[in-house]
Amino acid sequence: MTRVLLWHVHGSWTTSFVQGEHDYLLPTLPERGPWGLGRAGRDWPDRVLEVPADRLADTEVDVVVLQRPEEFDLARKWLRREVPAVYVEHNTPKGDVPDTRHPMADRPDLPLVHVTHFNQLMWDCGTTPTTVVEHGVVDPGPRYLGDLDRAAVVINEPVRRWRVTGTDLLPRFASVAPLDVFGMGLAGLRDRLGVAPDRLVEVGDLGTGQLHEALARRRFYLHPLRWTSLGLSLIEAMHLGMPVVALASTEAVLAVPPEAGFLSTRVDDLARGAAELIADPGLARQLGKQAREFALARYGLAAFLRHWDRLLMEVSR
């Protein structure tokens, strides 16, 4: 069993990661915050342990999973010794794409893991060895009902991120299907878009169980993001059995097969697909069933954990 030190950065990804058979150590600080958040009330297995940062030097650690550039020096400071490490890059590059240099570029002794093949392709990592471990999620089960003639959208901070998340495209979709938007930082969204209250509802941020229940009642899942790493909410929606309407950008072209919904770079085509799903619940159920089958095969938790088991073993030798 490997003792893995990692920070609580991306809650959904960490939920999948800590389902393995290792001991997972999360640093804590008195003020909590981004560098010492600990479990933050998450319902994770008992083997996920909180460790005060000032005790890490006396704690057995086999490997460190880094997710932000600052953690590289922080791990050395708190551990006071060299421990094998691997870096996980969750995001698409920003800046002068495709020439954006990764902050961990040219570190041949630090394996770098991308969560999508698109990210691996687009980041310039120099001589740093890279690999891809695709997402895996805890299966919420086939809970799709689709009884509400509405679309579900999950976007965090859609007003601030705007074109990145495709927020500006929402009025086009709201014209054919009422939208329920879930996520953090939704304040002012409807006013900024100028969409009527009956065409867009700012639902807000829900716990995982509540979110899955709410998503499963909407007719389809809308993924309008232009430039993002593959969102786990999209994969979870497919696991639920939801059909998908998505922009054919970044990794979505691999994650959403044609039989799972509508995928295109032409917004008008997607709007027509959305209207078709609203009008035909039977079609929505059929596409959603195929979306779930594909998601289970490609983004199942077991394969994700097996890949990470092999990687952690190699790194911690």
Between 290 and 316, the higher pLDDT residue: 290
- Asked whether 303 and 132 are in contact (CB, 8 A), the reply is no
Query: What's the pLDDT at 173?
Result: 98
Query: What's the pLDDT at 316?
Result: 86
Match 């601030």 to its residue by tokens. Answer: 160
Buried b (16+ CB within 10 A) or exposed e, 252-291: beebbbeebbbbeeeeeebbebbebbbeeeeebbebbbbb
Query: Average pLDDT of the chain?
Result: 96
Query: What's the pLDDT at 21?
Result: 94
The token duo for 4 is 């893995």
Q: With 90 as the cut, is the pLDDT of residue 53 above it?
A: yes
142: confidence class by pLDDT, cuts 50, 70, 90: very high
Going along the chain from its start, the domains and CATH numbers come out as 3-136+300-316 (3.40.50.2000), 148-298 (3.40.50.2000)
Q: What is the mean pLDDT of residues 188-194?
A: 95
Query: What's the pLDDT at 198?
Result: 95
Measured CA angle at 25 (ends 22, 28), to 5 deg: 165
The whole-angstrom distance between residue 264's C-alpha and the CA centroid of its chain comes to: 21
The whole-angstrom distance between residue 52's C-alpha and the CA centroid of its chain comes to: 27
Q: With 90 as the cut, is the pLDDT of residue 95 above it?
A: no
Query: What's the pLDDT at 108?
Result: 95
1: confidence class by pLDDT, cuts 50, 70, 90: confident
Q: What is the mean pLDDT of residues 305-309?
A: 97
3: confidence class by pLDDT, cuts 50, 70, 90: very high
